[in-house]
Amino acid sequence: MQPGETVMDAESIARTVRRLAHEIVERAGGTERLALVGVRRGGVPIAERVARAIEEAEKRVVPVGSVEIALYRDDAATALPDPKIGPSRIDFDVNAREVVLIDDVMQTGRTIRAAIDCLLDYGRPRRVWLAVLLDRGGRELPIAPDFVGRVVQVPDGARLEVKLDDVGFERAICVRSATT
Amino acid sequence: MTRPFRHTHLLGIEGLEASDVAQILDAAEVFYEVSRRPVRKVPTLRGKSVINLFFEASTRTRTSFELAGKRLSADVVNISTSTSSVTKGETLLDTVQTLQAMHPDVVVIRHSASGAPHYVSERVGCSIVNAGDGAHEHPTQALLDAFTIRRAKGTLSKLVVTICGDVAHSRVARSNALLLRLFGSEVRVVGPRTLMPSEVESLGVKVFDRLEPALEGADVVMVLRIQRERLEGALLPSMREYSRTFGISPRTLGYAKPDAIVMHPGPMNRGVEISPEVADHARSAILDQVEAGVAVRMAVLYLLAGEAGAGPGTQG
């Protein structure tokens, strides 16, 4: 895909979120011990939308939390200080839960490594899964998602830009060149 | 991208802008949450070194800085004068230059001489944090007080804050007055004239010599510690008289707003500057201040130990 192209529009994002929700419930064998944790900041609205889709389909509320990975980055010494960090919020007991980490875009895998470290500081889940809306390849660590919305090929150096609507939901995901 | 935190050192509230203070307090919110997790530690400053160099006795500030550094996974070394070469006659600069040769990232200094951290900061390559210098400044105490006030009141603007006691010898009062004035709050100071500095108005504060009018309508009552040696210096007639005239009791607290909070930098002289009933009152924020102290010091170390020219986070 080339700069300027739309990777996903609002409709395909909504459809993909519903599919991810069904796949997660099916693989987890229900919702009883399920919990979703969004990776701040892009993964949090996706996690909330997946939770809502699960609630609509299963009539069960699944707890949703968030993890801030800035403090766990492996490049903390050179990337600090990031003024936009926020707190992690996990208000439920993660012990013995089936936790699905959710992010919007996956590339190197370093963010997810940091997110797993952060999550484990809250307790010992029975299992941790990973769901991503978009997998753009370019892995630098041996980490693979269990649930993928869509796999895309994006030129090296280009960034995927998530456009949000008024309430913070993804309106579209576009390819942006590295220089713009 | 320019350095997100534009200071290399934290030497005082003087020299900071409201936006700098807000940046530190916002970061402290994140670390406040870290301190309440089952595992109260993040790997953020792994590989960094922090030296706590205390030329004055201080248990709570030193412990707070030590915990802050350790919760960020930094290597923390504590040096106090009783065990250092200072007792063998080494100068302050020699001590710091010796430590600098060990390549610390941050040195936290408490010293009885005003300006000692400034003097050192101009002669070393690492970040310096002032943990209290003479009667001059104690910036992290003012920041943790501001954090506590902001959590309790939701703002630092347009509040009435009354600081009671030994303003003349208090670096806490000076730093707090500077910080609260940055946000447009009214700062009042009250205490015996013998314990009031001669140019106190230059801090932009209102000066009172009676407690009741100073407390009238206050949102925050900040009580300062009275040192017993002031009696020997003939600055106070007696502790009993001080307590009767300037001590914060349930009766005098009644002049402040009904939801006013009471603060004290500790350690307290119960029954002298603050009555036991007020110290343990539901409106006492004294233990909240201690908790805030670790979070604020984590934020300060985090912001200072970062490298200049930080880039944006990578996608991934």
Which residues 6+ apart lie within 8 Å of B308 measured at CB?
A: B3
**Nearest residue of A to residue B38, measured between CA atoms:** A122
- Please report the residues numbered 137 through 166 in chain A whose beta carbons come closer than 8 angstroms to any beta carbon of chain B: 138, 140, 159-160
Residue A81 touches partner B, C-beta closer than 8 Å: yes
Provide the residue ranges of all domains of chain B, joining segments of one domain with +.
9-137+291-305, 139-287
Q: What percent of chain B has pLDDT over 70?
A: 92
Chain B residues with CB under 8 Å of a chain A CB are 4-5, 23, 26-27, 29-30, 32-34, 37-39, 41-48, 302-303, 305-307, 310-311, 313-316
The single-letter code of the amino acid at A11 is E
Q: Which helix (H) or strand (E) holds A162?
A: strand A159-164
Please tell me the distance from the alpha carbon of residue B54 to that of residue B76, in angstroms, as a whole number. Answer: 13
Please tell me the distance from the alpha carbon of residue B143 to that of residue B26, in angstroms, as a whole number. Answer: 11
Mean pLDDT along residues B144-171 = 96
Q: What is the pLDDT of residue B312?
A: 41
For chain A, residues with pLDDT lower than 50 are 180
Q: What is the pLDDT of residue B311?
A: 40
A80 and B44: CB-CB below 8 Å?
yes
Nearest-Å Rg of the Cα atoms of chain B is: 20
Q: With the CA atoms of A31, A35, A36 and A40 taken in that order, what torsion angle do they form, in degrees rounded to the nearest 10? A: 170
Q: What is the pLDDT of residue B3?
A: 54
User: Is the pLDDT higher at B234 or at A87?
Assistant: A87
B282 CB burial (10 A radius; 0-12, 13-18, 19+): exposed
User: Is the pLDDT higher at B25 or at B198?
Assistant: B25
Coil, helix or strand at residue A145: coil
Residues from chain A contacting residue B314 (CB–CB below 8 Å)? 75, 107-108, 110
B42 and A72: CB-CB below 8 Å?
yes
User: Is the pLDDT higher at B1 or at A122?
Assistant: A122
Chain A: closest CA distance from residue B304 (Å):
8
Write the DSSP symbol of residue B137: B
Please tell me the distance from the alpha carbon of residue A133 to that of residue A10, in angstroms, as a whole number. Answer: 13
**Nearest residue of A to residue B315, measured between CA atoms:** A107
CB B150 within 8 A of CB B208: no
Q: What is the pLDDT of residue A66?
A: 96
Annotated binding-site members of B for carbamoyl phosphate: 60-61, 110, 138, 141, 266-267
Residue A66 touches partner B, C-beta closer than 8 Å: no
- Identify which of A84, A140, A162 has the alpha carbon closest to the alpha carbon of residue B1: A84
A81 and B27: CB-CB below 8 Å?
yes
Mean pLDDT along residues B213-222 = 97
Residues from chain B contacting residue A117 (CB–CB below 8 Å)? 43
Residues from chain B contacting residue A73 (CB–CB below 8 Å)? 313
A77 and B23: CB-CB below 8 Å?
no
CATH class of B9-137+291-305: alpha beta
Mean pLDDT along residues B266-283 = 94
B31 CB burial (10 A radius; 0-12, 13-18, 19+): buried
pLDDT digits (tens, 9 = 90+) for B196-207: 998 888 889 999
Chain B: closest CA distance from residue A53 (Å):
25
Please tell me the distance from the alpha carbon of residue A116 to that of residue A43, in angstroms, as a whole number. Answer: 14
Q: What is the pLDDT of residue A82?
A: 60
The pair of structure tokens assigned to B302 is 């985090």
Residues from chain A contacting residue B305 (CB–CB below 8 Å)? 80
The single-letter code of the amino acid at A83 is P
Chain B: closest CA distance from residue A136 (Å):
9
B234 CB burial (10 A radius; 0-12, 13-18, 19+): exposed
Chain B: closest CA distance from residue A81 (Å):
5
How distant, in Å, are the alpha carbons of A41, A138, B194, B248, B310 from that of B241? 57, 74, 14, 13, 56
Q: What is the pLDDT of residue A167?
A: 67
Q: What is the pLDDT of residue B309?
A: 35
Which residues 6+ apart lie within 8 Å of B224 measured at CB?
A: B163, B164, B165, B166, B167, B170, B172, B173, B191, B264, B265, B273
One fold for B9-137+291-305 and B139-287: yes
A76 and B5: CB-CB below 8 Å?
no
CB B114 within 8 A of CB B139: no
How many A-B residue pairs are in contact by the CB < 8 A criterion? 88
Please tell me the distance from the alpha carbon of residue B72 to that of residue A87, in angstroms, as a whole number. Answer: 15
Angle between the N-to-C axes of helices B286-305 and B18-34, in degrees from 0 to 180, rounded to the nearest 10: 110
pLDDT digits (tens, 9 = 90+) for B42-92: 999 999 999 999 998 888 999 999 999 999 999 999 988 766 666 667 888
Q: What is the pLDDT of residue B285?
A: 97
Q: Look up the pTM and report it.
A: 0.89
Angle between the N-to-C axes of helices B139-153 and B286-305, in degrees from 0 to 180, rounded to the nearest 10: 120
Residue A105 touches partner B, C-beta closer than 8 Å: yes
CB A119 within 8 A of CB A99: yes
Mean pLDDT along residues B181-198 = 94
Residues from chain A contacting residue B49 (CB–CB below 8 Å)? none
Which residues 6+ apart lie within 8 Å of A100 measured at CB?
A: A24, A28, A34, A35, A36, A37, A47, A50, A128, A129, A130, A131, A146, A147
Annotated binding-site members of B for L-aspartate: 88, 171, 225
Please tell me the distance from the alpha carbon of residue A118 to that of residue A121, in angstroms, as a whole number. Answer: 5
Chain A: closest CA distance from residue B75 (Å):
14
The CATH code belonging to domain B139-287 is: 3.40.50.1370
**Nearest residue of B to residue A156, measured between CA atoms:** B315
Q: What is the pLDDT of residue A179?
A: 52
**Nearest residue of A to residue B33, measured between CA atoms:** A87
How confident is the prediction for chain B on average, in pLDDT? 90
The number of residues making up chain A comes to: 180
Chain B: closest CA distance from residue A59 (Å):
31
The pair of structure tokens assigned to A71 is 């403090």
Annotated binding-site members of B: 60-61, 88, 110, 138, 141, 171, 225, 266-267
CB B280 within 8 A of CB B241: no
Mean pLDDT along residues B256-268 = 95
A81 and B34: CB-CB below 8 Å?
no
B42 and A122: CB-CB below 8 Å?
no
Mean pLDDT along residues B254-272 = 95
